[in-house]
Amino acid sequence: SETDTPTLGKRNIPTHELYAEPRATQKILDDASINIESWLSGKISEYFARKEATAFVSGTGVSQPRGILSYSAGTTWGTIQQIASGTSSVVYADKLLEMFYSLKDAYTPNATWLMNRLIALQVRQLKDSTGQYLWVPGLSAGNPDTLLSRPVAWAADMPVAASNSLSIALGDFKKAYQIVDRIGIRTLRDPFTAKPFVKFYTTKRVGGDVINFEAIKLMKLGA
């Protein structure tokens, strides 16, 4: 007989536009010892990347991608489970263990911890009952630091320790979060409308949203 299994559906992830319009005079474009146009392009790319990173973590979904921290707490579809740390300023080793084992087996092998550097400083000092540090530094190039055997990534956009802050995330982010890029970065070179300046109208369309809510866990610093 027909089995009662999950059904396929369509997930709509809208894209939102980032733009910048720097300008430079034709004279400096002609006379500079470096390629000004290429330099501007690099700076814009860096700026766009920072804005995207912020949105993927804390974006509201309004005129920007929706971030992993924007969902309410829960264990049903459309919510992300939050593990309470027990205090608004301290991370305990037992709570990290609870968070780790709350993640299903299917997502553990590819899971990564995500936290701010200031939170990482606190976590690095945690020890088990035998006095061994939970945090194991990567000892060679290309090997990341690990926490409870899973790699750690630093994200400046994750919150620092504060009351009710969601300061630590753990998940298989490849399965949990989908980024949608449209075309890439496009630049329209306009030498006509602001002479003697040349304008570089630069745009990028990007979207992002959680598509698998059980593949992420968050720690809430609070009782």
The answer, yes or no, to whether residue 66 has pLDDT greater than 90, is yes
Fill in the amino acid letter for 64.
Q
Query: 157, 57 in Cβ contact below 8 A?
Result: yes
pLDDT at 188: 95
Q: Which of 25-34, 130-139, 180-189 has the lowest mean pLDDT?
A: 130-139
d(CA 99, CA 177): 19
d(CA 44, CA 38): 10
d(CA 194, CA 192): 6
pLDDT at 139: 73
pLDDT at 223: 62
CB neighbour list of residue 19: distance below 8 Å, 6 or more residues apart = 201, 202, 203, 204
- pLDDT per residue as tens digits for the range 19-52: 999 999 999 999 988 899 999 999 999 999 999 9
- Number of alpha carbons in the 13 Å side-chain half-sphere of residue 27: 2
What is this structure's pTM? 0.89
